Amino acid sequence: MPINDEARVGFYICHCGHNIANMVDVTSVAEYAAKLPNVVLSRDYKYMCSDPGQEMILKDAEVFKLNRIVVASCSPLLHENTFRNATAKAGINQFYFQMVNIRENASWVHEDKELATVKAKDLVRAAISRVVFHKALEKKKVPVNPDVLIVGGGISGISAALNIANAGKKVYLVEKDPTIGGYMAKFDKTFPTLDCAACILTPKMSAVLKHPGITLMSYSEVAAVEGYVGNYQVKVTRKPRYIIEEKCVGCFACIDACIFKEAKFSDEFNEGLSKRKPVYIPFPQATPQVVLIDDKTCIHFKTGKCPQSCAKACDRNAFDFDQKPVTQELEVGTILLCTGFQPFDAARAPYYGYGRYPNVYTSLEVERLVNASGPTGGNVVLRDKTRPKSIGIIHCVGSRDEKTNKWCSRVCCMYSLKLAHLLKEHTDAEIYNFYIDMRTPGKGYEEFYDKLLNEGVHFIRGRVAEVSDWAINEHEKGKLVIRAEDTLIGMVRRIPVDMVVLAVGIEPGKDAQDIRRVFNISCSNEGFFLERHPKLAPVETFTDGIFIAGACQGPKDIPDSVAQAGAAAAQALALIDSGFVELEPNTAFINEELCCGCQVCINLCPYHAITFDETKSVSHINEAICKGCGTCVAACGSGAITQNLFEDQQILSEIYGLLVE
Amino acid sequence: MAQDKPKLKLAVYWGAACGGCCVSVLDVHEKLLDILAHADLVFWPIALDIKYQDVEQMPDQSIDITLFNGAVRNSENEHMAHVLRRKSRILVAYGSCAYLGGIPGLANFYTKEEVFRRVYEESESLDNPQKIHPLPENEVTEGHLHIPSFYNDVLTLAQVVDVDYFIPGCPPQSERLVEVFMDIVNGSDLPLKGSVIGASSKVQCDECKRKKSDKKGITRFYRPWEVTDDGMTCLNEQGILCMGPATRAGCGVRCVEGNAPCRGCYGPLDGIGDAGTRILSAIASMLDGKEPEEINRAIDSIVDPAGTFYRFSLPGSKLRRKVS
Ligand SMILES: Cc1cc2nc3c(=O)[nH]c(=O)nc-3n(C[C@H](O)[C@H](O)[C@H](O)COP(=O)(O)OP(=O)(O)OC[C@H]3O[C@@H](n4cnc5c(N)ncnc54)[C@H](O)[C@@H]3O)c2cc1C
Ligand code: SF4
Ligand code: SF4
Ligand code: SF4
Ligand code: SF4
C-alpha cells in the first residue's frame, strides 16, 4: 500500500443510526482501518455529522497530531462540506480530508452483511491510500458582479425582474418577442380566482418599463455567454424593429397609414384568428409601446417600391428602414432563465381533427376568443360567425400519452375548467369536459371544480378516441362527433358538438436546446431545464450563478411560476450580497514547461476555460472558469495538465488501495 | 588534457534487437575516433570478438559504461543483462527496445506458443513438415545441445536489472550519444539516476515546425499515401496519424521533417505510465463528430490501433501484454 511517512490519518466510520450499521459491521471496519499504514487513530461513532461527532475530530486532531482525516459515512453531496469544515476547524487544511460513501455504495445497496463489510473495507482502504497524497489547497474567492440578466419576459421573468430591481440591483431583461407578458398576456381570466389577467399583469409590465433599475431589451436574444459565476459576459442581439424605440410614442398613426388598407397577415398574438398589417403592435398594452415592421410582409422590404406611407405619417421621425441587428455586450454576475414553454402542437394528435375541421380549436385560440380585447371582442363565435350551442373540451391533449408526451401538464385540467366556465358564460352552450383524471391540486382549485360541477357543465371521464364529422344519425349531422369511452358508466359514447376545444399540454420551448447550449446548463429527459436538485435546489442549475424559474423548468401555473421567480430572485440576491464566490480548487492547470502548444485541449473544454497564448506558444486554463471535469487532463499527450485533487498519484494510489489488500 | 586521464572502458551489447542500435553507434562516423580517444571498447559483439566468458571474468564494476540495446526476450538476454549490470558502473538502456520493449515487444500481443506456431509451423518460407519447435535442451548425435530458452514475455531491461539511464530512439539519434558520452568524459554533473537522457523534456510537436491550430476536427484517418500532404499543416490535422503529441522530442522531429508521421519511438514523457493510452486519448480528443457512428467510423479508419499506439512501448507500459 502506498505510504507517505508524514501522513497521520485519523479514520472515522459512522453508523448513520441504523442506516449503515445494520448492513456493515462498523466495528470490524474500524479495527481493520486501525491496522492500515499511516492510520494513527480509528473510531466508529453513531452520528459523525452531529456536533459531538465533529467535536471528536477536533479533539483527536490535537491529541494525536492528526494531519489527514477520512470519514466513512454517507454521500459527499450531503456532508462533505460538514467534514471539510470540521477538518479546517481542527487546524488541518480542509483538502487533507477524504470521504468514503459506504451508505449509498455499500449498506443501502447490499443484502449480505459480510460482503457489504468487505466492500466497505475496500473503499476505506482506497480512501486512506489516496488521502496521504492529498495536497493542501485553498479555495479562491472571486467577486460577484451585482448586475443580473433575466432571459424571458413572461410572468416569471417579470416577477423576478421586479423582485431584484426593487432590492436595488440592476437588471437586464431580455425578451425575444416585441413585447413582454408571455402567455399570460393572452388570457382573459385566470384560474381559480377568475381575476382578469390583464388587470394583474399589465401594471407589472409597465412597472418593468418604468423601473429605473431595469433595462428592458425586447425583440432581442442572447447570442453568446462566456465567463463564470459572478462574472458573465453576455452578447445580446437586438433584432431590427425598423423603428427607433426611443422616438415611438405608440400613437399607431403609421398603422392606419400603411399602404395596406386592410390587415392581411396572420396575427400571431391572436393565434392567427385575426389579421395584422406589416407595421403593427402585438396588442394594445404591449410593453414597450413601440410598433414594429415585419420585414417578411412589408412591401418596402419585399420590393423596395413602397411609398412608405407609414413613415410619412409618423410625426416623430421614428422610422429607420436601414436598421440592422445590433449586438450589445453586457457584464452580469448572475443569470435567470425564465423562457417559458410552448403549447403542444395539436396537429400532432391528428385523431382530434385539428387543422382538418375548422371548428376544432386549441385552448389558446379559445383564450383569445373569450378575451374582451381578442379578435372577436370577446364574442365567442365559430369561424362561420355562428354561436356554438354545444362545446366539447378535451383534456390532456398531448399529455399523459405514450405517443406524445408522457407527463401531466399540470395546468390543463384547471384551465379547461376555467374555459368551461367562461364559454358557458359567453355562449350558454352545453359544455362537455372529457377528462382522464381531474387534477386539481392547489389552493382553491378543488373548490373551483366543485363550483363548475354546480354550473351545469357535463363531465365525462374517459380518454377521447377521436373527433370526426361522420354522422350516423340526423342528430349528429353537421356536427363534430366526439367519441369517447365513458369509464364511469362503462360504455362508448358519441357526443355531437358545434365546437371542440383541445386542452393542449405544456412542452419545453422550441429553442430550449439552443438556450441550454448557450448557457451551458442541462435539460431533463423531457427537455425542460434541469434543476440542481428536484427537492432541495429546484431553481438552481448545475452551472453556478445560473438559475431557472417558471414553465421552462417544468409545467407550472402562474402562482407556482411567480413563487419560483421569487425563489430564483432570492438565490441571485443571496449570491450578490455575499459579494464573492468561493471556487472549488479541483481545477486543472497547465505546466508551461511541458506544454508543447499542440492545442488539442482547447476545444475540448466544455466551459471554454482554455485559451492559447500565442506569444509563449502554450495553452492556459482560467481557473475561475474551469469546473474540474478532467477532459483536458486526459487529452494532453504531454501530461502537461494536472487537476487538483485528481493528480495521477492520488488516483493511482486510490486504485491500488481498492485492488490490493 | 583528457588523454592524461585513464581511458574509460566502454561496452555495447545487444539483446533482442535488430542491430540498428549498434549501427547507430557506428553512425557517429568520425566522432567515433573522439570517443575512442577517451575510451576503450571492451565488449561489442557486432564488432569485436570477445566472448561471454571473457566478460564474466572481468572484475565487477570494471566497465565504466555499458550501452545495452535490445529487449530481454530469452534467457541469454537476461543472463547477459545480469552479468553486465554486475560488471558496469553505469548501465544504459540504449534505444527503444531496451528502454520500453520496442518493436520486438509487440510480440507481447501474442503468447510464446502463438509465436512458435507462426514461425515454426505457418510461416510462408518454411519447410518443417514435422513441425519441430526449438527446445532449450536436446540430445543429438553430436551430444547435448543447449540453446537459450524463449520467454513468453518480452521484457524491458529495467524489468530485469537496475538501470542507470535510458536513451530512447529507434535507433537513438547518434549525435545525442556523443553529447552524453562527452559529458561523462568531461566529468560534467551526471543526471539523476533513472533519467531519460539524450532527449527533450517536451513532446515532438514542440519542435515540429508544422502549423497547428485548435481545429483538429479529424473525421477519418488516412495512410500517408492516401492523401497529398500540404507540407505545412500538422499531419494529424490532415488526418495522418502522427504520434507527435505524446512522443518525447529529441530526434529533431526527423520523421515529420521528412514528411512522414512520427511513429512514437522516443516514448512518452516522464511520469506517463502508459504511452499507448496517452497517445490514444490525445488522438481521440482530436476527433470530430457528435454521433457515436461518426466517431466509430473515424476510429475504424485506424489500421492496427493496438500496434500503432503501442508500437514501441508495450512491455514498458501499464498494459504490458495481452492477457491470453
Ligand atoms: C391555454 C392555457 C391557459 C392557461 N391558463 C392559466 C390560468 O388561468 N392560470 C394560471 O395560473 N396559469 C395558466 N396557464 C399557465 C401559464 O401560462 C404559465 O404558468 C405561465 O405562462 C408561465 O409563465 P413563464 O413566464 O414561465 O412562461 P411564458 O409565459 O412562456 O413566458 C416566457 C417568455 O420568455 C420569452 N422567451 C422564450 N425564449 C426566449 C429566449 N430564448 N430569449 C428571450 N426570451 C425568450 C417568451 O417570448 C415569453 O415572453 C395556462 C396555460 C395555457 C397553455
Ligand atoms: S413600408 Fe409600406 S408596407 Fe411597409 S409598413 Fe410602411 S406602409 Fe406598410
Ligand atoms: S494538450 Fe497539453 S500540450 Fe497540447 S496545448 Fe494543451 S496543455 Fe499544451
Ligand atoms: S478540467 Fe475540464 S473544465 Fe477544467 S479546463 Fe480542463 S476541460 Fe476545461
Ligand atoms: S502531431 Fe506530428 S505533425 Fe503535428 S505538430 Fe505534432 S509532430 Fe508535428
Q: What is the ipTM of this complex?
A: 0.87
Tell me, yes or no, whether B37 and B98 share the same domain.
Answer: yes
Same structural domain, B275 and B209: yes
Q: Are residues B146 and B157 in the same domain?
A: no
What confidence tier does A76 reach under pLDDT thresholds 50, 70, 90? very high
- Band the pLDDT of A19: cuts 50, 70, 90: very high
Whether B214 and A597 lie within 8 Å, measured CB to CB: no
Interface test mutation site (partner B, options A602, A612, A616, A638, max chain B beta carbons within 10 A): A638
Residue B324 pLDDT level (bands cut at 50, 70, 90): low
Residues of B in contact with A614 (CB under 8 A): none
pLDDT of res. B4: 61
Domain membership of residue B44 (yes or no) is: yes
- For the stretch A160-180, pLDDT in tens is 999 999 999 999 999 999 999
Asked if residue B3 has pLDDT above 80, the reply is: no
Residue by residue, DSSP assigns A511-574 as THHHHHHHHT--B-TTSSBPPSBTTTBTTB-SSTTEEE-GGGSS---HHHHHHHHHHHHHHHHH
Residues B178 and B285 in one domain: no
| Nearest-CA residue for atom 1 of ligand 2 | A308
With beta carbons under 8 A apart, name residues in chain B contacting A601: 285
By Cβ distance, the residue of A593, A602, A639 closest to B214 is: A602
- Alpha-carbon gap, residue A20 to A107, rounded angstroms: 5
Interchain contact, A597 vs B206, CB within 8 Å: yes
pLDDT over threshold 90, residue A515: yes
**pLDDT over threshold 70, residue B312:** yes
DSSP state of A246: T
Task: Decide whether any atom of ligand 3 lies within 6 Å of the A619 Cβ.
Answer: yes
**Structural domain contains residue B316:** no
A293 lines ligand 2 (CB under 6 A): yes
Distance from CA of B278 to the nearest CA of A (A): 6
- Confirm or reject contact between B246 and chain A (CB < 8 A): yes
**Probe site for chain B from A596, A601, A636, A652 (most B CB atoms < 10 A):** A596
The minimum CA-CA distance between A594 and chain B, rounded to whole Å, is 5
pLDDT in tens, A369-412: 999 999 999 999 999 999 999 999 999 999 999 999 999 999 99
State whether B141 and B158 are in the same domain: no
Fold observed for domain A139-187+194-239+325-340+520-580: FAD/NAD(P)-binding domain (3.50.50)
CA triplet B291, B293, B299: central angle to 5 degrees? Answer: 110
Render B277-298 in DSSP notation, one character per residue.
HHHHHHHHTTB--SSHHHHHHH
Same domain assignment for residues B54 and B87 = yes
Helix%, strand%, coil% for chain B, nearest 5 = 35, 20, 45
Is position B259 within any domain? Answer: yes
Task: Determine the pLDDT at residue B183.
Answer: 83
As a whole number, mean pLDDT of residues A57-63 equals: 97
Atom of ligand 4 nearest to the CA of A629: 2
So what's the pLDDT on residue A1?
65
Of A599, A605, A612, which to mutate for an interface test with B (greatest number of B Cβ within 10 Å)?
A599
Strand partners, A243: A319
Is residue B84 in a domain?
Answer: yes
Structural domain that includes position B86: 8-103+152-185
Question: Per CATH, is A343-507 categorized as 3.50.50.60?
Answer: yes
Cα A205 → chain centroid: 22
Q: Based on the domain organization, do B269 and B144 belong to the same domain?
A: no
Residues B13 and B26 occupy one common structural domain: yes
Q: State whether B159 and B266 are in the same domain.
A: no
Whole-angstrom CA distances from A21 to A32, A45, A128 are 16, 10, 21
The enclosing domain of B162 has a CATH number of 3.40.50.700
Domains of chain A: which residue ranges? 9-137, 139-187+194-239+325-340+520-580, 253-313, 343-507, 584-644
Closest chain A C-alpha to B310 CA, distance in angstroms:
14
Do B90 and B128 have their domain in common? Answer: no
The predicted-structure confidence for B126-159, as pLDDT tens digits, reads as follows 999 999 999 999 998 999 999 999 999 999 999 9
Which residue would you say has higher pLDDT here, A643 or B189?
A643
Distance CA A100, CA A79 (A): 11
The C-alpha angle A9, A14, A20, rounded to 5 degrees, equals: 135
**Residue of minimum CA distance from atom 4 in ligand 5:** B234
% pLDDT > 70, chain B: 98
Per CB-CB distance under 8 Å, the chain B contacts of A612 are 214
CB contact under 8 A, B244 and A598: yes
Between A and B, how many residue pairs show a Cβ–Cβ distance under 8 A? 69
CATH topology of domain A584-644: Alpha-Beta Plaits (3.30.70)
Shared domain for B177 and B62, answered yes or no, is yes
Same domain for B176 and B89, yes or no, is: yes
Instruction: Evaluate whether A9-137 and A139-187+194-239+325-340+520-580 have a shared fold.
Output: no
pLDDT at A312 over 70: yes
Quick one: average pLDDT of A575-592?
93
Cβ–Cβ below 8 Å for A635 and B273 = no
Q: Is residue B314 part of a domain?
A: no
For A243-293, write each residue's pLDDT tens digit.
999 999 999 999 999 999 999 999 999 999 999 999 999 999 999 999 999
pLDDT at A584: 86
Q: Looking at beta carbons, which pairs linking A183-186 to residues 24 or more positions away fall under 8 Å? A: A183/A154, A183/A340, A183/A341, A183/A364, A184/A154, A184/A155, A184/A558, A185/A283, A185/A285, A186/A269, A186/A271, A186/A364, A186/A367, A186/A368, A186/A371
Cβ separation A637–B214 shorter than 8 A: no
Per-residue confidence (pLDDT) for residue A273, from 0 to 100: 96
For residue B2, the model assigns a pLDDT of 45
Mean pLDDT over residues B205-223, rounded? 93
Which residues contact residue A167 at a Cβ distance below 8 angstroms, ignoring those fewer than 6 apart?
Answer: A569, A573
Instruction: Report CB contact under 8 Å: A598, B213.
Output: no
Please indicate, yes or no, if residue B323 is contained in any of the structural domains: no
Q: Is the pLDDT of residue A227 over 90?
A: no
Q: Determine whether the shortest distance from the Cβ of A596 to ligand 3 is under 6 A.
A: yes
Q: Write out the E strands in chain B.
A: 8-14, 39-43, 63-69, 72-74, 88-94, 137-140, 143-146, 150-155, 165-167
Rg over alpha carbons for chain A, rounded to the nearest Å, is 31
A206 Cα: distance to centroid of ligand 2 (angstroms): 28
| Mean pLDDT for all residues in chain A | 96
Counting the structural domains of chain B, the total is: 3
Q: Is B21 in the pocket of ligand 5 (CB under 6 A)?
A: no
- Asked if residue B192 belongs to a domain, the reply is no
Check pLDDT > 60 for residue A588: yes
The fold for domain A9-137 equals Rossmann fold (3.40.50)
Supply the pLDDT for residue B1: 44
Domain presence at residue B264:
yes
